[in-house]
């Protein structure tokens, strides 16, 4: 069982993060498709803060001796998921940049040819 003040602190952090992400989406600083995973993480933190006994049960269920080990395991999984999401985004942007650079080179070549023929 976690101390009550730590439970309140965890709830406040989770709600604060949810509000922060909501504000960023509203100001168009963050796209919804990138915020979904963050919202899931915040809701899990909020759920585990409100009902900490779920965390102990889950730790026993998957075979961790200490709930702290489960917390670190879940944090690593969350970080890996966020990293994977960002890697996909960077890959797409890199491909788009390559295609745009090729199109620009083709258009530049056509412009140079039309200027030289005049």
Please give the backbone phi and psi of residue 81, each rounded to the nearest 5 degrees, phi first: -65, -45
| pLDDT values of the chain reduced to their tens digit, one per residue, 118 residues | 678 898 999 999 999 999 999 999 999 998 888 888 889 989 988 998 899 888 889 899 999 988 889 989 989 998 998 899 899 999 999 999 999 999 999 999 999 998 887 6
Q: What is the DSSP string of 47-65?
A: HHHH-HHHHHHHHHHHT-S
* Contact partners, residue 46, CB within 8 Å, separation at least 6: 11, 14, 15, 18
Please give the backbone phi and psi of residue 109, each rounded to the nearest 5 degrees, phi first: -65, -40
Q: CA–CA separation, 33 vs 78, rounded Å?
A: 16
* Cβ contact 35:28 at 8 Å: no
């Amino acid at each position: 069982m976690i101390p009550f003040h730590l439970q309140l602190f965890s709830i406040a952090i989770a709600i604060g993060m949810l509000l922060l992400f909501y504000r960023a989406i509203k100001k168009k600083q963050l796209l919804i498709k990138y915020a979904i995973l963050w919202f899931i993480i915040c809701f899990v933190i909020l759920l585990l803060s409100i009902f900490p006994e779920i965390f102990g049960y889950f730790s026993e269920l998957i075979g961790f001796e200490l709930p702290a080990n489960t917390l670190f395991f879940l944090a690593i999984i969350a970080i890996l998921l966020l990293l994977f999401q960002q890697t996909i985004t960077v890959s797409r942007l890199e491909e788009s940049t390559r295609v745009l650079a090729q199109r620009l080179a083709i258009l530049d070549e056509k412009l140079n040819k039309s200027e030289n023929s005049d």
